Amino acid sequence: MLQAIAFYALATVAVLSAFLVIAARNPVHSVMWLITAFFSSAGLFVLLGAEFLAMLLVVVYVGAVAVLFLFVVMMLDVDFASLKQGFLSYLPLGGVIAAILAIEAILVGSFWASDHVAAPSDVTAITPDVNNVEALGALLYDEYVYFFQAAGLVLLVAMIGAIVLTLRHRPHVKRQKAHEQIGRDRKTAVEMQDVKSGEGIG
């Protein structure tokens, strides 16, 4: 009973937050509602027993993607109010597409639930005293550790390449030269001026 109440509460908050993401006029409010939707979805994953997916949703999407969206929105200062002026004109078409997708999801889920048969597998069953996070960690860092490290290396190279491609040196922008500041001596750092009384430095 308590699990059902938690499910309906989290599902309602997730659906309403997802709707307010596109309905809010303020883009900062949209990002906040997006974070709320992510947290509610993470709670639903916990109820389903998928703790790893819940943790992934909070750490990756809330901690990185949503915060990045918020920083970009606040720094670019884009007038999103003018971009959302024609929102209501696309509402009927969006409602029809959403209804079609919902019907397809219900049909696929009902057919799968009625005709689903567990396929034979040679995967070792997880013991009850091991949760999903421990099982996935053991699988990734024991059997697929080289592929996991290779994927991390590919992402690192892609990040460095993106930084190199987007880094531009402007000729008229003053930049800090740390090696010159550290290597200077008293003769180049200090300049003595003989200032006459009442005249100041010209």
In the chain, where are the structural domains located?
Answer: 1-81, 131-170
Evaluate whether 14 touches 45 at the Cβ level (below 8 Å).
no
Read off the pLDDT of residues 102-137 as tens digits, 9 standing for 90 and up: 888 788 777 766 765 555 555 555 666 777 778 878
Q: How confident is residue 191, by pLDDT bands cut at 50, 70 and 90?
A: confident
pLDDT greater at residue 155 or residue 175? 155
According to the model, what pLDDT value does residue 140 have? 80
Buried b (16+ CB within 10 A) or exposed e, 85-109: eeeeeeeeeeeeeeeeeeeeeeeee
Asked whether the predicted pLDDT for residue 146 surpasses 80, the reply is yes
- Rounded Cα distance between 131 and 46, Å, is 12
According to the model, what pLDDT value does residue 163 have? 80
Asked whether the predicted pLDDT for residue 19 surpasses 70, the reply is yes
According to the model, what pLDDT value does residue 27 have? 76
Report pTM.
0.53
Fold of 1-81: Four Helix Bundle (Hemerythrin (Met), subunit A) (1.20.120)
Mean pLDDT for the chain? 78
Read off the pLDDT of residues 40-58 as tens digits, 9 standing for 90 and up: 888 888 888 787 888 888 8
Q: What angle do CA 145, 57, 122 make, to 5 degrees?
A: 45
Overall average pLDDT of the 149-165 stretch: 87
Amino acid at 37: A
User: Is the four-CA dihedral 43, 48, 50, 53 of positive or negative sign?
Assistant: negative
